[in-house]
Amino acid sequence: MSSKPIRRILRLGTLLVGVCAGLLLGHAAARGLLAQPFGSSGQGSSGPIAVLPRTEHDFGAVSEDRLLRISLPVHNVGDRRLVIVEQSCAECGMSQDEPNTIVVPGQTALLDVSFDTRGLHGSVQHVADFNTNDRRLPHIRVVLKANVKRLP
């Protein structure tokens, strides 16, 4: 047997061990099982912790007069409920379908954001802003992009 397949197996095994260790450390940190930093309260409560895999989306080329929608997952890896509140942005043509989103610890919710391209042409970018009760991430900005084409 050549050494190339063995090296590939070892690399894959190392990668899997690293991913598993990262997941375990993340879970332990979220549950307050890791040592507290010097000077911290040590109360064991981490509060809500918002985790977003992404906060930007490019719709690419779209025709004008379309309502574009995207659902972005928000994970709460903390130990208290996460509250997400949309900041009003009626003038920018964007909205979140639900005004408040509550994510219980260990769960995931979707931020459903829509973007109206009516009256827009060319390369456009809009933002939707949200406030949270996560002291580490009190503000979330979602950026949506599109290249709006005129209808013939």
116: which residues sit within 8 A by CB, 6+ positions away?
A: 66, 67, 68, 93, 94
Strand partners, 112: 71
- Does residue 60 or residue 38 have the better pLDDT? 60
Indicate the CATH number of 50-149 among 2.40.128.20, 3.40.30.10, 3.40.50.300, 2.60.40.10.
2.60.40.10
Domain residue ranges in the chain: 1-35, 50-149
Between vectors from CA 34 to CA 19 and to CA 50, what angle results, nearest 5°? 65
Alpha-carbon span 28 to 32, nearest angstrom: 6
pLDDT digits (tens, 9 = 90+) for 60-72: 999 988 999 999 9
Structure tokens at 16: 């899997």
pLDDT digits (tens, 9 = 90+) for 73-119: 999 999 999 999 887 554 444 444 456 889 999 999 998 888 889 88
Q: Report the candidate in 55, 66, 42 with the shortest Cα–Cα distance to residue 114.
A: 66
